[in-house]
Amino acid sequence: GARWGAPASLLDERPEEVSPLEAVEDILKLQLATYTPSDDPLAVYFKIHIERKGADALPVPVLPKDVLLMQDCSESMTQAKLDACKMGLHAWLDRLRPDDRFELVGFREDTHRCFGAWTNLV
């Protein structure tokens, strides 16, 4: 059967490699939207939109981020779904900044990491 969860080494980082967290509820607002296509009622897609609360909100610093991109490689993926996923992956890669890191994980019965570690574009 399917094995869920990221490989342990993917999240095995030293404390100095992790950005400190600060509360952002007073600065940011979040909107969540879901979509279920009429031709595939078992599929649910979601979109999270994060933005500043207003012009008077404190500035939000741009911090380096780690982005984990997932690719469904199962037999249920039609060519149209693969093409849409490829476009989405390219769109994410186009948004990454030089200090950002990413990893691509493919999954079907189990997971496979593309690079084996967090990777920069440059």
Cβ neighbours of residue 68 under 8 Å, at least 6 residues apart? 6, 10, 102, 103, 105
In order along the chain (122 residues), what is the average pLDDT of each group of 10 residues? Answer: 51 70 78 93 91 78 86 89 90 91 89 89 80
H or E stretch covering 91: helix 79-95
Domain ranges of the chain: 9-113
pLDDT reported for residue 8: 56
pLDDT tens by residue, 72-83:
888 888 999 889
pLDDT reported for residue 58: 73
